[in-house]
Structure 1
Amino acid sequence: MAVHNDCLRDVPDIFENEIGESLATRTEGLGMIRELGPPDLCHIVKAHSSNRNEPDIGSYHHVLGVDTSSSASLAAYINSLQYSLNDAPGWFGASNSWKITSGTYCSYNAFSNVDLRVQIKIPGGVDAYIVTVLGERKEVTEELWRECQVSSLLRAIMHSDPLAYNVTGLRRVTPVPTLRDEARLVDAVTQQFWSGWSLGSNAETQMISTSRNFLTDGLMRYFAGAGRYADYAAEILAPLAYAPLGGQQSPVRESMDFKGVDPEVASILAETYLEGDEEVQAVRVMHQALKIKPSCYPLLYIQAEFLRRKNQLESALTIARMAVKYAPSEFHAWAKLAEIYIDTKDFKRALLTLNACPMYTFVGRDLPRVPPPRRINYPVKSDILADYNLGEAFNNSTHGPMPSNSRSSIDSDAPGMAEEMAQNETSDILRLSAPTLNGTFAHAYRFLSSIFGVVGWDELLLLRSQVFVMEEEYRNSSVPGVAVDDEVEDDDGNDEDDDHLPLSALRERAVSESQPKDADEPNTNTEVKVEADTEDKTKADTEDKTEADTEDKADSVVKPDTETKVEEDVAIEAETETKLETEAESEVEVADVETNGHAATKPELAPSDTVADESTTEPQQQQQQSQPSAQGGKGKKKNKKNKGKKAQNKAADNVTEQTIAVEAKKDAENEGVQPETIADLGNKMEDVSLSDADGNKENAVEADEGKEDVPEEKDGEPEEPAPESPFEPVAEPQTAVLEAKEKEPTAATADNATDHNENENDNETETHVQLGGDTKAVRKRLCERWLDNLIMMLFEDLRAYTAWRSRMHNLRATGQQVTYTYTQAEWEALGELALRLHHPSEAKEAFEYALAIRFSAKAWQRLLEIYVGKYAAAQKEEQMRYEGVPAPLSLTSNDSLMMALDAVVWLSVYNDRWYNSMVYPNPVCDSVVLLVKIHGLSKVRNSLVSMNLKTPVFNLVKGYLEFAEKFEVTGSKW
Structure 2
Amino acid sequence: MVRSLLFADNENYSFITCWRRLNPLQTPELTERFFEAFESLFFRGPALGCVSEVQNATIVSNYLVDAFLKFVKITGKYEEAISVLSRLAKIDSDVLAITARVMLQNNDEVKAVQVMGNGILANPRDYNLLELQADYCAGKGKLDWSLDCAIRAVNSAPAEFLPWARLVKIYTKMGNYEQALLTLNSCPMSTAKEIDLTKIPQPQSVLFPLPTDGVLKEIWNDDKPESVTSYDQSLLKLPAPTLKSTFAKAYELLTEIVSHIGWDALLKYRSNVFVMEEEYRKEKRVVRNNSIGTLKSANGILAKPEEAKEKQPTEEEEESLKLKEEEEADKMKTKRLCERWLDNLFMVLYEDLRVYTVWRAEYVHYQSQQMEYKKHSLDWEALGMVAWRLRHEDEAADAFNHAIEQRFSNRVMWKLLEYYEHKGDNANILDAVVKLFAWNHRWYNEFSPKLITALRNLVAAEGATKIASKIEAKYAPDSIVELMDSALKDLTTFKAIGTDS
TM-score, normalised by the number of residues in structure 2 = 0.87
Residue 325 of structure 2 corresponds to residue 796 of structure 1: no
Matches within 5 A, 1:801-950: 801-818=356-373, 821-867=374-420, 869-870=421-422, 872=423, 891=424, 896-918=425-447, 921-950=448-477
Q: Could you tell me which residue of structure 1 aligns to residue 67 of structure 2? A: 218
Matches within 5 A, 1:642-681: none
User: SS of the counterpart of 1:947?
Assistant: helix
Q: Could you tell me which residue of structure 1 aligns to residue 52 of structure 2? A: 203
How far apart are residue 350 of structure 1 and its match? 0.2
Q: Could you tell me which residue of structure 2 aligns to residue 455 of structure 1? A: 261
Q: Write out per-residue CA displacement over residues 303-330 of structure 1, whole angstroms, 9 at most, x where no aligned residue.
A: 2222222222222212211111111100
User: Against the structure 1 CA distance between its residues 356 and 225, is the aligned structure 2 distance closer, same or farther, given a 3 Å change threshold?
Assistant: farther
Q: Write out per-residue CA displacement over residues 646-680 of structure 1, whole angstroms, 9 at most, x where no aligned residue.
A: xxxxxxxxxxxxxxxxxxxxxxxxxxxxxxxxxxx
Q: Write out per-residue CA displacement over residues 406-458 of structure 1, whole angstroms, 9 at most, x where no aligned residue.
A: 33xxxxxxxx63xx32233x522221111222221111111111111111111
What is the aligned counterpart of 1:428 among 234, 248, 258?
234
Q: Is the 8 A contact 2:7 2:13 kept in 1?
A: yes
Residue 80 of structure 2 corresponds to residue 263 of structure 1: no
User: Against the structure 1 CA distance between its residues 856 and 196, is the aligned structure 2 distance closer, same or farther, given a 3 Å change threshold?
Assistant: same
User: SS of the counterpart of 1:295?
Assistant: coil
User: Against the structure 1 CA distance between its residues 906 and 822, is the aligned structure 2 distance closer, same or farther, given a 3 Å change threshold?
Assistant: same
Q: Could you tell me which residue of structure 2 aligns to residue 234 of structure 1? A: 82
Q: Could you tell me which residue of structure 1 aligns to residue 489 of structure 2? A: 962
Residue 126 of structure 2 corresponds to residue 320 of structure 1: no
User: Against the structure 1 CA distance between its residues 937 and 235, is the aligned structure 2 distance closer, same or farther, given a 3 Å change threshold?
Assistant: farther
Q: Is the 8 A contact 1:223 1:229 kept in 2?
A: yes
Q: Is the 8 A contact 1:466 1:780 kept in 2?
A: yes
Q: How far apart, CA to CA, are the structure 2 residues paired with 1:853 and 1:807?
A: 20
Q: How far apart, CA to CA, are the structure 2 residues paired with 1:973 and 1:277?
A: 21
Residue 113 of structure 2 corresponds to residue 283 of structure 1: yes
Q: How far apart, CA to CA, are the structure 2 residues paired with 1:159 and 1:213?
A: 14
Higher RCO structure (Cα 8 Å, ≥6 apart): 2
User: SS of the counterpart of 1:446?
Assistant: helix
Q: Could you tell me which residue of structure 1 aligns to residue 250 of structure 2? A: 444
Matches within 5 A, 1:71-86: none
Report the AA paired with residue 205 of structure 1.
V
Q: Is the 8 A contact 2:160 2:188 kept in 1?
A: yes
Structure with the bigger percentage of strand: 1
User: Against the structure 1 CA distance between its residues 279 and 971, is the aligned structure 2 distance closer, same or farther, given a 3 Å change threshold?
Assistant: same
TM-score, normalised by the number of residues in structure 1 = 0.46
> Which blocks of at least 5 consecutive residues in structure 1 are unaligned?
1-152, 246-261, 392-404, 408-415, 481-592, 594-746, 768-777, 873-890
Q: Could you tell me which residue of structure 2 aligns to residue 467 of structure 1? A: 273
Q: Is the 8 A contact 2:82 2:99 kept in 1?
A: no
Q: How far apart, CA to CA, are the structure 2 residues paired with 1:948 and 1:328?
A: 53
Q: Write out per-residue CA displacement over residues 45-79 of structure 1, whole angstroms, 9 at most, x where no aligned residue.
A: xxxxxxxxxxxxxxxxxxxxxxxxxxxxxxxxxxx
How far apart are residue 932 of structure 1 and its match? 1.6
Q: How far apart, CA to CA, are the structure 1 residues paired with 2:219 and 2:79?
A: 40
Q: Is the 8 A contact 1:473 1:765 kept in 2?
A: no
How far apart are residue 796 of structure 1 and its match? 0.8
Q: How far apart, CA to CA, are the structure 2 residues paired with 1:207 and 1:326?
A: 15
What is the aligned counterpart of 2:188 among 332, 336, 358?
358
Residue 174 of structure 2 corresponds to residue 344 of structure 1: yes
User: Against the structure 1 CA distance between its residues 479 and 898, is the aligned structure 2 distance closer, same or farther, given a 3 Å change threshold?
Assistant: same
User: SS of the counterpart of 2:20?
Assistant: strand
User: Against the structure 1 CA distance between its residues 320 and 898, is the aligned structure 2 distance closer, same or farther, given a 3 Å change threshold?
Assistant: closer
Q: How far apart, CA to CA, are the structure 1 residues paired with 2:145 and 2:82?
A: 30
Q: How far apart, CA to CA, are the structure 1 residues paired with 2:455 and 2:252?
A: 27
What is the aligned counterpart of 2:29 among 152, 177, 180?
180
Report the AA paired with residue 495 of structure 2.
E
How far apart are residue 846 of structure 1 and its match? 0.9
How far apart are residue 346 of structure 1 and its match? 0.3
Q: Is the 8 A contact 1:229 1:273 kept in 2?
A: no
What is the aligned counterpart of 1:766 among 326, 331, 335?
331
How far apart are residue 385 of structure 1 and its match? 4.7
Q: How far apart, CA to CA, are the structure 2 residues paired with 1:328 and 1:298?
A: 12
Q: How far apart, CA to CA, are the structure 1 residues paired with 2:70 and 2:80?
A: 11
Q: How far apart, CA to CA, are the structure 1 residues paired with 2:431 and 2:149?
A: 45
How far apart are residue 766 of structure 1 and its match? 2.0
What is the aligned counterpart of 2:220 among 390, 393, 399?
390
Q: Is the 8 A contact 1:263 1:296 kept in 2?
A: no
Q: How far apart, CA to CA, are the structure 1 residues paired with 2:233 and 2:258?
A: 25
User: SS of the counterpart of 2:51?
Assistant: coil
- How many positions carry a matched residue from both structures? 472
Residue 350 of structure 2 corresponds to residue 786 of structure 1: no
Q: Is the 8 A contact 2:82 2:102 kept in 1?
A: no
What is the aligned counterpart of 1:171 among 17, 20, 28?
20
Q: Percent identity?
A: 34
Report the AA paired with residue 448 of structure 1.
L
How far apart are residue 479 of structure 1 and its match? 12
Q: Could you tell me which residue of structure 1 aligns to residue 9 of structure 2? A: 161
Q: How far apart, CA to CA, are the structure 1 residues paired with 2:183 and 2:381?
A: 33
Q: How far apart, CA to CA, are the structure 1 residues paired with 2:201 and 2:495?
A: 45
Q: How far apart, CA to CA, are the structure 2 residues paired with 1:972 and 1:798?
A: 46
How far apart are residue 751 of structure 1 and its match? 7.1
Structure with the bigger percentage of helix: 2
Q: How far apart, CA to CA, are the structure 2 residues paired with 1:330 and 1:474?
A: 31
Q: Is the 8 A contact 1:362 1:439 kept in 2?
A: yes
Q: Is the 8 A contact 1:406 1:855 kept in 2?
A: no
Q: How far apart, CA to CA, are the structure 2 residues paired with 1:220 and 1:372?
A: 32
User: SS of the counterpart of 2:338?
Assistant: coil
Q: Is the 8 A contact 1:342 1:350 kept in 2?
A: yes
How far apart are residue 933 of structure 1 and its match? 2.5
Q: How far apart, CA to CA, are the structure 2 residues paired with 1:925 and 1:230?
A: 16
How far apart are residue 853 of structure 1 and its match? 1.0
Q: Is the 8 A contact 2:213 2:483 kept in 1?
A: no
User: Against the structure 1 CA distance between its residues 376 and 764, is the aligned structure 2 distance closer, same or farther, given a 3 Å change threshold?
Assistant: same
Matches within 5 A, 1:498-577: none
> Which blocks of at least 5 consecutive residues in structure 2 are unaligned?
287-314
Q: Could you tell me which residue of structure 2 aligns to residue 132 of structure 1? A: none
How far apart are residue 917 of structure 1 and its match? 1.7
Q: Is the 8 A contact 2:491 2:499 kept in 1?
A: yes
Q: Write out per-residue CA displacement over residues 773-795 of structure 1, whole angstroms, 9 at most, x where no aligned residue.
A: xxxxx811111111111111111
Q: Write out per-residue CA displacement over residues 590-621 of structure 1, whole angstroms, 9 at most, x where no aligned residue.
A: xxx9xxxxxxxxxxxxxxxxxxxxxxxxxxxx
Report the AA paired with residue 82 of structure 2.
A
Report the AA paired with residue 230 of structure 1.
Y
How far apart are residue 168 of structure 1 and its match? 2.5
Q: How far apart, CA to CA, are the structure 1 residues paired with 2:470 and 2:273?
A: 55
Q: How far apart, CA to CA, are the structure 1 residues paired with 2:265 and 2:47?
A: 46
How far apart are residue 164 of structure 1 and its match? 4.4
Residue 255 of structure 2 corresponds to residue 406 of structure 1: no
Residue 139 of structure 2 corresponds to residue 309 of structure 1: yes
Q: Write out per-residue CA displacement over residues 66-105 of structure 1, whole angstroms, 9 at most, x where no aligned residue.
A: xxxxxxxxxxxxxxxxxxxxxxxxxxxxxxxxxxxxxxxx
Q: Is the 8 A contact 1:477 1:765 kept in 2?
A: no
User: Against the structure 1 CA distance between its residues 283 and 948, is the aligned structure 2 distance closer, same or farther, given a 3 Å change threshold?
Assistant: closer
